[in-house]
């Protein structure tokens, strides 16, 4: 398990609060992907520029490394019935715990005691509750015939959209990056949703390296920070992987390291030593980045606009500073930017 030595801080959760009008929460993705807006923040000068996302190429240079998270979202929300009573149960897969064993959220939870059997898709998929885990989640073991679990989920599962998105998603691939590869995320690494195949090819042609790393996003990313002092918050655990090839390509760069999303940033900072050298890794990380953190390798960040009082807002505030980020968010609200998972993008240079 990768953690970090947290710096002393007097900051409270309320220090990261801001007012967001409900109509600023994006309900549908931009079409095409790269037509979303891009706010560019120069953290040295505080200067803000308003662009379109495909203009991101104006801020990239030959020799830069663009680090992407190629984790793939699984249709992790299932609706089934209890085998003994027929009562409807909602199950959301959070992370794999071994061969066909998953940590899940269940609703209603009180009806899913150890030994409970849940049937999905007219018996196409069966789950038995093994035990109650920390935080009220459950460990379940899935049984099925024929295809692998992911192909069955693709047939009967739904995308686990965040609770603030109330519109039905017409095309589930729109909650997926174009470079998604390895199944395992319960939520999308949303900064990557803005890239198209054509834009990525254009970036490569500029001499910018595009290097994949992996972090399986858990729903813990949406959980609010409940502690008054942020230093008391215990970060959720997420699985990460950096291959030797990816580490070598990043270490041999001649330009900047630009993280696409807070997930890629957390991978980079978890896998880097104090000298800014990336090492291959396959592990869980609970790294928590907030103001006072010294970045070891991340030079710039492409990200979306994050929820008030969230660990993601704390991370971007660490790369710039809290006051500048909150002022920038005020500007974005005033200028009509769209927020959260399907919203517009921000680049911090």
pLDDT greater than 70 at residue 262: yes
pLDDT at 204: 98
pLDDT at 133: 86
> Is 7 within the bounds of a domain?
no
Of all residues in the chain, the percent with pLDDT exceeding 90 is 82
> Is 164 within the bounds of a domain?
no
Omega before 32 cis (within 30°)? Answer: yes
The string of DSSP codes covering 249-300 is HHHT-SS-EEEEHHHHHHHHHHHB-TTS-B--EEEEE-----TT---SS--E
The model's pLDDT over 53-86, given as tens digits with 9 standing for 90+, comes to: 999 999 999 999 999 999 999 999 999 999 999 9
Q: Where is 182: in which H helix or E strand?
A: strand 182-185
The mean pLDDT of the chain is 94
- Looking at the fold, whether 107 and 184 belong to one and the same domain comes out as no
Segment 149-164 shows an average pLDDT of 90
pLDDT greater than 70 at residue 222: no
Q: What is the dihedral of CA 184, 190, 194, 195, to 10 degrees?
A: -30
- Looking at the fold, whether 286 and 332 belong to one and the same domain comes out as yes
The model's pLDDT over 283-334, given as tens digits with 9 standing for 90+, comes to: 999 999 999 999 999 999 999 999 999 999 999 999 999 999 999 999 999 9
How many whole angstroms separate alpha carbon 153 and alpha carbon 147? 10
Q: Classify residue 91 by burial, with Cβ atoms within 10 Å: 0-12, 13-18, 19+.
A: buried
In Å, what is the CA distance from 340 to each residue of 111, 210, 252?
33, 24, 34
**Residue 37: how many CA atoms within 13 Å on its side-chain side?**
16
Domain count along the chain: 2
Domain edge (last residue) among 128, 156, 184: 156
- Looking at the fold, whether 110 and 39 belong to one and the same domain comes out as no
- Looking at the fold, whether 150 and 290 belong to one and the same domain comes out as no
Segment 253-260 shows an average pLDDT of 98
- Looking at the fold, whether 136 and 278 belong to one and the same domain comes out as no
- Looking at the fold, whether 88 and 55 belong to one and the same domain comes out as no
> Is 166 within the bounds of a domain?
no
> Is 341 within the bounds of a domain?
yes
pTM: 0.92
pLDDT greater than 80 at residue 224: no
**Owning domain of residue 131:** 77-156
β-pair partners for 223: none
Segment 141-159 shows an average pLDDT of 90
Label residue 196 by pLDDT band (50, 70, 90).
Answer: very high
Label residue 152 by pLDDT band (50, 70, 90).
Answer: very high
> Is 247 within the bounds of a domain?
yes
- Looking at the fold, whether 151 and 207 belong to one and the same domain comes out as no
Contact 38, 52 (CB under 8 A): yes
Segment 255-276 shows an average pLDDT of 97
Segment 254-272 shows an average pLDDT of 98
Segment 10-20 shows an average pLDDT of 97
Segment 149-160 shows an average pLDDT of 91
pLDDT at 169: 87
Whose CA is closest to 299, among 250, 231, 239, 235?
A: 250
Q: Which of 144-148, 201-205, 240-244 has the lowest mean pLDDT?
A: 144-148
Domain edge (last residue) among 111, 127, 156: 156
Domain edge (last residue) among 133, 156, 179: 156
- Looking at the fold, whether 26 and 123 belong to one and the same domain comes out as no
Omega before 108 cis (within 30°)? Answer: yes
């Amino acid at each position: 398990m990768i953690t970090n030595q947290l710096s002393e801080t007097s900051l409270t959760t309320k220090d990261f609060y801001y007012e967001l009008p409900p109509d600023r929460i994006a309900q549908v993705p931009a079409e095409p992907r790269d037509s979303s807006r891009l706010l560019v923040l120069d953290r040295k000068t505080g200067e803000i520029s308003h662009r379109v996302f495909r203009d991101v190429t104006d801020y990239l240079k030959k020799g830069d490394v663009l680090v992407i998270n190629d984790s793939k979202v699984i249709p992790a929300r299932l609706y089934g019935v209890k085998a003994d009573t027929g009562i409807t149960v909602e199950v959301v897969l959070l992370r794999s715990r071994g061969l066909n064993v998953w940590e899940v959220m269940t609703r209603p939870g009180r009806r899913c005691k150890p030994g409970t059997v849940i049937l999905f898709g007219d018996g196409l998929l069966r789950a038995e509750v093994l035990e109650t885990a920390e935080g009220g989640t459950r460990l379940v073991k899935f049984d099925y015939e024929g295809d692998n679990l992911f192909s069955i989920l693709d047939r009967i599962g739904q995308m686990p959209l965040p609770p603030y998105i109330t519109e039905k998603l017409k095309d589930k691939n729109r909650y997926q990056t174009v470079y998604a590869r390895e199944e395992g995320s319960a939520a999308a690494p949303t900064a990557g949703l803005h890239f198209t195949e054509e834009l990525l090819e254009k970036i490569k042609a500029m001499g910018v390296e595009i290097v994949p790393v992996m972090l399986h996003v858990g729903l813990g990313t949406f959980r609010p920070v409940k502690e008054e002092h942020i230093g008391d918050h215990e970060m959720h655990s997420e699985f990460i992987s950096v291959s030797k090839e990816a580490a070598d390509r990043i270490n041999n760069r001649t330009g900047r390291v630009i993280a696409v999303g807070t997930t890629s940033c957390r991978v980079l900072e978890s896998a880097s030593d104090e000298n800014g050298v990336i090492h291959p890794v396959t592990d869980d990380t609970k790294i928590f980045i907030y103001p006072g953190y010294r970045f070891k390798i991340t030079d710039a960040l492409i990200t979306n606009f994050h929820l008030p009082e969230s660990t993601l807002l704390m991370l971007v505030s660490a790369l710039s500073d809290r006051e500048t980020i909150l002022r920038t968010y005020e500007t974005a609200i005033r200028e009509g930017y769209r927020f959260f998972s399907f919203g517009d993008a921000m680049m911090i240079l």
